[in-house]
Amino acid sequence: MSPVTVPAPRRALLSVYDKAGIVDLARGLVELGWELVSSGGTATLLADQGIPVVEVAEVTKAPEMLGGRVKTLHPMVHGAILADRFNPDHVHDLRERGITPIDLVVANLYPFSSDPSIELIDVGGLTMVRAAAKNHAHVGVVVDPVDYDGLLAELRANGSLSDATRRRLARAAFAHTAAYDADIVGWFDEEDPSEGDDNPLKPSIYLALDRVQDLRYGENPHQFGARYRTVGSSGWWDTVVVHGGKAMSYLNLLDTEAAWRLVHALGDPGATTQEPTAVVIKHANPCGAAVGTDIAEAYMAAHECDPVSAFGGIVAVNQPVTMPMAEALSEVFTEVVVAPTYEADALAHLQQKANLRVLEAEAPTWPELDVRSIDGGLLVQTADRLVVEPSQWRVVTDREPTSNEWADLVFAWRVAARVNSNTIVLARDRQAVGIGAGQQNRRDAGRIAADKAAGRAAGGVCASDAFFPFRDGLDAVADAGVTAVVQPGGSLRDDEVIAAADEQGMAMVFTGERHFRH
């Protein structure tokens, strides 16, 4: 069916808060013979630039009211946007009321997320955008200045927008309004928490995310993978500088995120200067972590923990990469290295490795929520934020840790909190020497850690992410030669485990908080 003939000329309604590019767009539309309708600051800006524009109030014959809250909410505007040009009754209504159809709506909304308040909850703009998007069979709608150039190019080439373009723009418009509403709901949740409810998880969650990076593939080559970003926010991945290497895959991002978070979690958050620290991650688990006198020493000590697993791993350091570190790193097949910066010669050396992704990044932030997919929805919890307060820990054995043991216990505990459960971490001189990760029982985790330590744990410490349910787990690490243990405590057999530690002359500390990670 062909559309019923409607009066010319083509008309565009321009009403934007973000005025970037709007003058050039308006001028281009006028050159193509379009008539412009606008309101408020947009109309003033266009008139000041000598661009012919009709005020909305001239169309509606109703001046703005309520301090600008009502200006486009009128049948002369929304009838012009919503009319179905294929419907004779709609066209009749337009003619009866003297309404000129609107063929294009260019609008973006008050920036609510920048300064949340009642007055920044857009109503008129939101309504126009939704109306135009609903009627995309006849009306184009643009909410992002990035689309202006493409819009003009298509109009110049074809005289009109294609069905596919209008549909794409309509989808973007509804995504824009959905994200906007999600921001408002989040603001209400922050401003008016449920009385008497200490649960920070809200009754509903509205997620608005944009796909910002296509990945080489997902967890496996037959899967698609992409990185999405919460609308209106950003993270360190958005500012990362990639100095070389292949495109990233899903697992590259997952493991690099784990490495970057861990290397920043190992330091003292209150310290002005962080000690040189390095971690090596494989399959989202640390296979090495260490503090050194310089970054090269820290890296080599981290690699030494488990050189077999480090093959094809991810390396993160918290200090600039030096030439000695770069030379040591280049001898090992590594997927990604991430650091705050690189010395010039070190960067040049690493860029010779064609397959090594070399990333320069800002420090990470910490999410509020941990979200996973399950059948029919999501499993949500507050993020496990590691707060290390040794002064609040409780020594439960006859012997107290020495000062060196205390330093190693804190280090090992930080590492253990970021390893998949069940986990045992053995460390000495703030170097992980054996990590048993992701085991179904704690005894096996201890045995694996001890095997990997290969005698290097003697005189060192052990961290267990959850309590020892039986003494056999403690016996396994005692056989490795550790002299101090940190664990949450809370088992029915705590007394038995403490007694076993006393038998061995070990010091044991309870943190009172476990860190399961699945």
Q: Tell me the catalytic residues.
A: 134, 283
CA dihedral 179, 181, 183, 189 (to 10 degrees): -140
Residue 298 CA from chain centroid, whole number: 28
DSSP code at position 234? -
DSSP code at position 261? H
Strands 277-282 and 241-244: unpaired
| Other residues' Cβ atoms within 10 Å of the Cβ of residue 5 | 8
Query: What are the phi and psi torsion angles at 484 (to 5°)?
Result: -150, 150
3-state SS of 396-427? CCCECCCHHHHHHHHHHHHHHCCCCCCCEEEE
| Other residues' Cβ atoms within 10 Å of the Cβ of residue 253 | 18
| Distance between CA atoms of residues 489 and 422, nearest Å | 15
In whole angstroms, how far apart are CA 121 and each of 84, 118, 181? 29, 5, 9
Q: Are 498 and 451 in contact (CB under 8 A)?
A: no
Structure tokens at 442: 């704690």
Query: What are the phi and psi torsion angles at 284 (to 5°)?
Result: 70, 5
Closest CA to 352 of 389, 383, 326, 375: 326
| Other residues' Cβ atoms within 10 Å of the Cβ of residue 289 | 32
| 413-414-415 Cα angle (round to 5) | 90
| Distance between CA atoms of residues 4 and 20, nearest Å | 36
464 bridge partner residues: 424
Structure tokens at 245: 């290497």
